[in-house]
Structures are given as structure tokens and as C-alpha cells.
Structure 1
Amino acid sequence: MTVRTSRPGGGAVPPPEPGLTSERVLARAEEIARTLVGRQAETERRTFYARDTHAAFTEAGFYRILVPRRYGGYAFGAETFLRVAMTLARGCPSTGWMYLFGAAHSLAVATLFEERAQAELFRSGHFICPATVAPRGTAERGPDGGWVLNGTWPYASGAPYATHFLGHVLVPGDEGEPEPMMFVVPREMWRIGDDWGGQLGLKGSGSHSVVMENAWIPGHHALRGHLSRVGVTGGTPGGRIHGGEYGGGPLSFMLLELGALAAGMAAGALDHYADLMRTRTTIFPPVVVRTDDADYQFRYGEAAAMIHTAEASVLHAVREWSAMSRRGPRAFTRAEELRLALISREAVRLCWRAVEGHLIPSAGSSALSDGEPLGRVWRDMSMMHSHAGLGIYLSLIANRELAQARFGAVDGADRESDGGARP
């Protein structure tokens, strides 16, 4: 058996722009998002955003927003990160999706893994780590107590420019029963599959598979448990090392991401609908520019209210998440995490009702022609509903778990793992 090894950890590096502010980062996101609108078709053909876009994100500091300062990041926090992702998704849904799911998991890694692992994984400060939640592949004990990984992990959004990958695999538990294990693998340990771009939507989201063949990682780069089941009420390594949001609940933050993306996509759809209103006329007499027609005014206003409400609810929820982080890990009970997560689900539903129920029916069939931006957003948001976090967890499981947590019902599904436990 041929086993490849990762490089040893290095020292921390300062951020490239020590004086950079979150306000400047948000302004950069606005500037870059405007350039993404005209590149949507190109991004879909490529199946991921362009290398010059990646370079612009790198230079703007986007990939370091959630990386701790001691490892060369900016630690600007959850709200800044979600605002940047929301803005990029407004310009191009695929680009926003790929960026968010590549950059988001630096927060989970900095929260859950011990200091030794963090120093190695964040050694350059530039950290892009897509993740998948479905356990796949195999893990066997390898040299020096590490793990040898084999398999294919699909839907790793952000893989084309990733520096790492966070995945799950089933391993024998204490009583021989299989249980999930999460792990982080450096980029040199895996390759991406040529299997993305033929889907209904999000064709440019870089959601390729990650393929590993005898990839070795040290034992401290793996943790027993599933990312969605980790409880933090007893504290986390990140909370002890960095404080603040690095002691927050991974589940609720991970699911708030979906609401932010939906709000960004729907805002983009509203932009495209506004362009149609300015340039097209009504079909039935009196024939006027759509901006002068009462029915189109009504549709626009209804959709705008829904989208703005969705955005406000997501941003309010993430501010609550940050405030809970400052109060300490005990604030993140399972019930509180689920409460925040379900706000995100309702935000997605509002955005979908706005686009699917008001904008699409009145835009006209020509707006759904191949390559038209409004039709692309509709496809992308349709595809979004197949995401397991939205279509399965938030739509089904989270409701039951919230009730169980509130009323003390006993169910095997609501047991939490202890964050930071080693295999």
C-alpha cells in the first residue's frame, strides 16, 4: 500500500493588510459583485468561477474573514462573512455559493479542533475548505496512529480552489457499531472529480467530488462525531484559544448560511426583474412600460417586501448568534441552535415565494430562455432545495428536534456529541 503524507505544520503569519476593516471588505464585495453579473454564463460553462475572480477574492481578503487572527486571518466575524456571501450571490448565485461553502468552514475548524491541529491546518492563513456531511468512503488506522482514507465525497462546493477538505466517514464505535468521524485533509492529499455542471442549477458552483486514494492524515486532524451533532455547551477548543465566535454553535451558523445565499440570489432576481420593468411593455392594453403598470408595481412591491424581510431575519439571527457567542458556550443549547436555524429556513421560503410566485409568472416566458439571468436564478434556487441541509434537515428533522428539545422528549436523534473529542 502506498501512503502519502501531508507536510508538517508551520508557523503563524500576519494578515496581509493589518489595517483592513470589515467595512472595507464589504465595499470590496459590492465592487466585485457588479462584475460577476455579466460572467454568469461563463462561470456555468467552466463549472466554477474564474481564476482572476479567485485572485480578486484572495486580494480582497475574503478567504480570511473567518480565520483567527493568530493564524493570519482577520476574524471579522459571522455577520461580515454572511454579508459578503450574500452580496456575491446577488451578482452570481453560483459564485456566491462556491465562495461561501469554500470559506465558511474555517470557523468550524477553528472552533472544534485542538491548538496543535489548528496551527498546522491554518499555517498559511489562506484557508479554503469545502465540506460534505454525508459519511462516505473508508478510514483505516495507519502509521503513527493516523488515518488512511479512501473514497469519493460528492458535492464539495468550492473544491477547485480549495486548500483543504472537511469530510465525514463511518468508523467502528466503542461497541463496534459504526459512528461518524469528521476529518480535515490538505489539498495535496486529494483530487477533484470531473462530475459537475450537468445539473439543473448552480452549474458554476464548483461542487465537484473529492477523491482520495490512500491519503494519510495524523490522528489529531480527525474528531469523533458529525458536524451537525456537535454540542458546544461544555466549551470548545476554539473558545479557549480564541474566544468569542470560536465558541459558537456550528450547526446554527452552518444553516444560517443557506438563508444568506437565498436572500442574495433573490435580490439578484429582483434586480433582473427591475431591468425588465424598465425595458419592456405590458402585453395587454393599455400598452405601457411596465414600470407604469399598477399590476407590475404590485408584483415588484410584494416580492421586494418578502426578500427584504428574509435578509433582515437572517442578519438579525446572525447577530443573535454572535451575541450568544459572547455570552459563553452555555447559551448554545440544542433548542437555541435549532431556533436560529429554522429562521434561516423561513428566510429561504420567503425568497422562493417571492421569485417563484411573483417574479417568474409575470416576467414572461422570454425571461426564462436559455442564458437569461432571471431564469438562471430560478434554476439555481430550485436546485438549492435539493441541498440536504434545507430539503431534509430543516424541512423535516429540525422541527421534530426543536419540539423534543423544548418538551424534554427522549429520542436517540437529539443526543449531542462533545465538541473536540478525539477518536
Structure 2
Amino acid sequence: MAVATNVPEYGVVLQPEAALTPAEMVARAEAIAATLVDRQAETEERTFYAQDTHEEFLQAGFYRILVPRRYGGLEYGIDTFMRVTMALTRGCPSTGWMYCLGHAHALIAASLFDERAQSELFAGGDFICPATVVPNGTAERTPGGDWVLNGTWGYNSGSPYATHFIGHTLVSPGEGQPPAPMLFIAERSQWRRLSDWGKQLGLKGSGSHSITMENGVVPGHFTLNTHVSQVDVSKGTPGRTLHGNPEYGGGQLSFMVIEDAILAVGMALGALDAYEDLMRSRVALFPPNLPRTQDPDYQYWYGQAAGMIATGEAAVLNAVQQWTEICAQGPAAVTKEVEMRIAAICHQVVDLCWHAVENYLFPTAGSSAVRQGERIERVWRDMSMFHSHAGFAVFLSTIAKRELAKARFGVEDGAHA
């Protein structure tokens, strides 16, 4: 895919090393991922990946993958983004998580906001924008149409190097009407990051800090009267029209759950890599104490886990393909049933990967391989922490299943048999 030639018109200078093809972008991520394995402990201690890693990502163009070409981005689409995320997560779950949830929301900005907002939001080219879905804080409208926000929003993965922040608050849509969600994007100058991450069970290095705003100003055109999970794109989006790219008109909710699945696959692949090293370097615990590669039990455990993880990888990449094909069919094709079907696939992917690690790799690696700081131990903690994430534990595990059935059978909310 060619890189835009008109970026100077928008005040953006494309970095030379950012001009990679999609395949080269993924290969670069795989090469960088190999260097992240031995830095996992320092990443956890710092609570986010290092400055030099961030600079590598900048030079590689990772923060421009989803940014539209007209604003200096690469516009490679979600397939490249997800493959880069999977590669980085395989090397270091915290780093992959932080990168993914930092850059992913470029798709929201490029899809849902108008040209005026996008030209300002993407003026820097690179876009790192953590988001939180729980409405919080207070918002007051100024006479000029801007909003003044105060509050603290938790769990903002990607915040250490962020250029923006997406949050939600509650505002009344009219006189005497109950408060409703308002999505907003705040520039980096309008908020500060708190030092409140790193004490959790896992994903200690994911940069998931809280963000606080004290009289932060958000322009009116950086807000939408909706919640990101409730966006209906079936009648088109500003981004689809503006960029002529169907992916900027895709389902936002299904895109977010694909992130969950791709992160789970990346984590599980990292655990499988560690287990393979043990297979090659250690012997079975009981006579005749064969090398693990020759022991029938270890052969089975490895093969079972490898098959489960490979199935998860195949399923999530197919979900990516379904998402892009549905976008190409037109706005009306992005139905609730379609989004919930993709969500159902993604739940099964996460389950497969978790059970591969929990049931086969972690318990048979050996106690010395699951001490604090060992790679399999870290993945187990990270995936356990993953299971407490509301996107998986609440939405994918329960809500999405019901919503898929309701959409399929045309059951309205509040309807009774």
C-alpha cells in the first residue's frame, strides 16, 4: 500500500522509517518482540515499557498503522495492527497490551469524528490514545460550546506515552432529561497521569494508570453524544465518507473484542515458546528420565496446547477477515447480530488460549519454571489478570451471548415470552 504523498498539506512530516509495507511492519514487530522477552521484569518494575522501546515503535511507524493516510498515517488497517499486536504480546504481554490499547482508538477517532476534529486530532501523525468505558467525572458547557471536565478515570492502558485520552462522562441531553453518556477526546495538555499502577496480579507493565482532569477543556467538536459500545454505524460514518475506506465505518464494539482475542493468542504463544525451551533443555521427572522432547507425556501436553493455541489464532484471524469483509459490504451489513457473532468467536478464542496455558503448560512446566519472574509464571499471572477485565469477564462471557441470541431472534429489550 502506498504512503500518502500529500501529507505536507496537513502539516505532517512522515518519518522515513515509518514507510514500511504491512508485511515489513509485522516482521519489524516480530524482531522487536524478541528483544522484549528479557526486559519483561524491568517493564513490570517501571509499570510501562521503556522510552527506547517507545522510540523504536515511533520509528517503525507502529503508532500510525490505523491513522488515515491523509494525515500522515499508514492506514494499513486492522489486519496489520492485530498482527503487530500479537507479535509484541508474544514477546511481552504487558508491552503488547499497552501498545494495543494505546493505538487502537485511532480507529474511533478516524471513524466517528468529522473532518474538522480529525485534522486537529491527527495533526501530530502518531496517535496514542488510551480509553476507558466507565462514565465518570463532571462536565460543564461553556458559552462558546466547549466542555470543562473534572474527574478521574481508571485503567487507561497506554497512558505513559499518550497523545490523547478518550473518556466518557454523563451529561443531560436537554432540560429535565436524565443524564446520558458523552464520549470525549482530551488532548494531552488537559490531563495528567497518576502513579497508581503496578500492584495488580498481572499486566503490571501495561501502563494502565488512572487519568485525572482538573478543569480540563475539551472542544465541543471533540465530543459525541453516545457511548463507544452503543455506536450504530449501519447508516455510515464520517470516516467512511471522508477517507473512502470501509474500515473507518466498521463495528466499533466488534473491533474492541477482537483486540481481546488477539492479546490472548499473543500471550499463549509466548507461554508456548517458553514451554518449548523447557522441552529442549530438560528431562522428564520420572524414570527413564528421557529428554522431554522424547517423553510421550510431554509430547502430548505440548501438542495439545499447541493445537488449542493454533486454533485460537486461526479463529481470531478469521474474525479479522470477517470484520473487514463486512465493512466492504457497506454500512447496512454491520448489524448487531454480526457484531455479537464476532464477539462470540472471540470469547472462544480467549477460552482456548487460557485453557491451553492453565491446563497443560503451567502445571507441567515444573515448579522451578513457575517461580516469580519466570516467563510461564508471568504469562499465567497476566492471563489470570486478563480474566478480571470487564470486557472478558462480564461482556464476552455473559452479555454478548445473550445479545447474540436476542439479535438473531428479534427479541427486544424488556420483551417477555
Q: TM-score, normalised by structure 2?
A: 0.95
Q: 1:368 aligns with which of 367, 370, 373?
A: 370
Q: Deviations over 1:164-201 (max 9, x none)?
A: 00011111134521111100001111110110000000
Q: Which moved more, 1:80-89 or 1:166-175?
A: 166-175
CA distance, structure 2, for counterparts of residue 31 and residue 133 of structure 1: 33
In the alignment, what sits opposite 2:231? 230
**Aligned partner of 2:121: which letter?**
L
Cα pair 2:19 2:61 within 8 Å, conserved: no
CA distance, structure 2, for counterparts of residue 198 and residue 403 of structure 1: 38
1:12 CA drift (Å): 4.3
Q: Deviations over 1:348-402 (max 9, x none)?
A: 0000010001111111111111111110000000000111111111111111111
In the alignment, what sits opposite 1:6? none
- Match of 1:145, SS? coil
CA distance, structure 2, for counterparts of residue 85 and residue 313 of structure 1: 16
Find out whether 1:102 has 2:102 as its counterpart: yes
CA distance, structure 2, for counterparts of residue 338 and residue 212 of structure 1: 34
CA distance, structure 1, for counterparts of residue 143 and residue 366 of structure 2: 62
Change in 2 beyond 3 A, CA 1:412/1:29: farther
In the alignment, what sits opposite 1:276? 278
Task: Spell out the pairing of 1:369-384 with structure 2 (5 A cutoff).
Answer: 369-384=371-386
Runs of 4+ off more than 3 Å: none
Cα pair 1:149 1:214 within 8 Å, conserved: yes
In the alignment, what sits opposite 1:409? 411
Q: Which moved more, 1:46-55 or 1:284-293?
A: 284-293
In the alignment, what sits opposite 2:218? 217
- Match of 2:385, SS? helix
Q: Deviations over 1:27-58 (max 9, x none)?
A: 10011000000000000000000000000000
**Aligned partner of 1:337: which letter?**
E
1:291 CA drift (Å): 1.0
Cα pair 1:170 1:180 within 8 Å, conserved: yes
Find out whether 1:239 has 2:240 as its counterpart: yes
In the alignment, what sits opposite 2:172? 172
In the alignment, what sits opposite 2:154? 154
1:245 CA drift (Å): 0.4
Cα pair 1:12 1:70 within 8 Å, conserved: no
In the alignment, what sits opposite 1:332? 334
Find out whether 1:16 has 2:15 as its counterpart: yes
Cα pair 1:66 1:106 within 8 Å, conserved: yes
In the alignment, what sits opposite 1:354? 356
CA distance, structure 2, for counterparts of residue 124 and residue 341 of structure 1: 33
CA distance, structure 1, for counterparts of residue 163 and residue 192 of structure 2: 11
In the alignment, what sits opposite 1:5? none
1:15 CA drift (Å): 3.0
CA RMSD of aligned residues (A): 1.3
Change in 2 beyond 3 A, CA 1:94/1:19: closer
In the alignment, what sits opposite 1:301? 303
Q: Deviations over 1:107-141 (max 9, x none)?
A: 11100011111111111111100100111111111
**Aligned partner of 1:217: which letter?**
V
CA distance, structure 2, for counterparts of residue 11 and residue 67 of structure 1: 13
**Aligned partner of 1:399: which letter?**
K
Find out whether 1:291 has 2:290 as its counterpart: no
CA distance, structure 2, for counterparts of residue 70 and residue 406 of structure 1: 39
- Match of 2:49, SS? coil
1:16 CA drift (Å): 2.5
In structure 1, runs of 5+ residues without a counterpart are 1-9, 414-423
**Aligned partner of 2:231: which letter?**
V
CA distance, structure 2, for counterparts of residue 15 and residue 318 of structure 1: 27
In the alignment, what sits opposite 1:7? none
Task: Spell out the pairing of 1:232-271 with structure 2 (5 A cutoff).
Answer: 232-242=233-243, 243-271=245-273
In the alignment, what sits opposite 2:123? 123
**Aligned partner of 2:389: which letter?**
H
Q: 1:388 aligns with which of 380, 387, 390?
A: 390
In the alignment, what sits opposite 1:37? 37
Cα pair 1:78 1:318 within 8 Å, conserved: yes
**Aligned partner of 1:296: which letter?**
Y
Cα pair 2:149 2:216 within 8 Å, conserved: yes
Change in 2 beyond 3 A, CA 1:83/1:255: same
In the alignment, what sits opposite 1:419? none
Change in 2 beyond 3 A, CA 1:19/1:126: closer
- Match of 2:10, SS? coil
Q: Deviations over 1:255-302 (max 9, x none)?
A: 100000000000000000111111111111111211110000000000
- Match of 2:260, SS? helix
Paired-residue identity, %: 61
In the alignment, what sits opposite 1:113? 113
Cα pair 1:14 1:73 within 8 Å, conserved: no
In the alignment, what sits opposite 1:196? 197
- Match of 2:229, SS? coil
Q: TM-score, normalised by structure 1?
A: 0.94
Cα pair 2:257 2:343 within 8 Å, conserved: yes
Cα pair 1:15 1:69 within 8 Å, conserved: no
**Aligned partner of 1:25: which letter?**
M
CA distance, structure 2, for counterparts of residue 233 and residue 257 of structure 1: 21
**Aligned partner of 1:377: which letter?**
V
1:404 CA drift (Å): 1.1
Cα pair 1:142 1:216 within 8 Å, conserved: no
In the alignment, what sits opposite 1:416? none
